[in-house]
Amino acid sequence: MRDVAIIGIGMTRFGELWEMSLRDIAVEAALKCLDDAGTEHIDSVTIGCMSSGLFNQQEHLASLVTDYLGRRNTPAVRVESACASGGMAVRSAFMEVASGISDYAIAIGVEKMTDVDGNLATKALATAADGDYEAFHGINFPGLYALLANAHMEKYGTTREQLAEVAVKNHRNGALNPHSQFPREITTDTVLKSAMIADPLRLFDCSPITDGAAAVLITTVEEARKIGKHPLVVISGIGTATDTIALYQRKDILKMDAVQMAGKRALQMAGKTIHDVDFAEVHDCFTIAEIMVLEALGIVEPGQGGPATQNGHTALNGKFPVNPSGGLKSKGHPVGATGVAQICEAALQLRGQADKRQINNARTALTQNMGGSGGSCVIHILEAK
């Protein structure tokens, strides 16, 4: 297997992009990525997208995106794993290059979610849950994560204020990110007084509906060194895992087994432990999700995700920074693009190019992207070389 590096990253602004179509934002991110890389060489295209058929009545993105990118005849495929679709696209591009099938592979994550109203968007997202035994009976993702939050609060004493601190911290970081949908700081009071969505989760505990795209160009370390435009960033580990799609089938709903196993596999492949990682981009679709992911990855002990956030452990200048980009909560969550955007942030940090949100001496990063209520997960380990 060949060693693999990231040589280009590109993102659109995340938000309500009324003036742009699905194909427009995918192409914009890809062109920015190629410009950043300093090459137009592409041997294969992988597109991560969850629900373009439901949001935009558009399938067959392999043909659509390559056509409008001016890359007809290029091998292309779309991958889907709910909200982990973007991360899985990067994994597929990695495999193209590592295996020798492609020398240059681009992964594009995209979602255009504001072409439908809020009710239809909620219905589309609910397809990532168990359609027969969860969604059919009226429970959506705010409801599912509210169940997790209540269980966590009951077992570990996690407080309503600690959940709010996840949002406060991520908005503080996102205010420094020019791509953020909501680049503004908030207070704990803002979260606690926002509208109730599914008790105990309020509006500011939930990631938004978002349009956006992100892209990364991957090649061999040897080719990356020849181009030499940016400091070298390699993907040294990848781990994936799945769990039951429905919460009720799990032995313990407070254990995110797919996250734990994917993290173990990624770190093992990279020859690292979690203590070797300098920062992480994690899937904070809801504030409780970030707390539970911290625990599943071993960043903190079970039950300590809330206190760790409250005491500054995961702040930008903390012992283990989490979501320097602002995360899904502030940066936004165009579901198919999120995993690719996490890779973009990690690469930017490892290059030392993250401007006001730059983490000092960042050398090793972890990105964690998951689908549904943790039914699938993909984790990447990136290193500055």
- Catalytically annotated residues: 83, 333
Whole-angstrom CA distances from 204 to 39, 187, 297 are 41, 10, 24
Query: In sequence order, what are the residues at sequence separation of 6 or more whose Cβ sits closer than 8 angstroms to the Cβ of residue 50?
Result: 80, 82, 83, 85, 111, 128, 335, 336
Tell which residue, 44, 11, 112, 40, has the closest CA to residue 347: 11
Contact 276, 357 (CB under 8 A): no
Q: Which residues pair with 378 in a beta bridge?
A: 240, 369
**What is d(CA 321, CA 358) in angstroms, rounded to the nearest whole number?**
11
Question: Could you tell me which of 252, 346, 256, 341 has the C-alpha nearest to residue 299?
Answer: 256
Alpha helices in the chain (DSSP H): 22-37, 52-55, 61-68, 85-99, 118-125, 141-156, 160-174, 188-192, 221-227, 257-270, 287-296, 305-310, 327-331, 338-351
Place of tokens 């990695």: 94
As a whole number of angstroms, the distance between CA 189 and CA 166 comes to 13
Give me the amino acid identity at 122.
T
Length in residues, the chain: 385
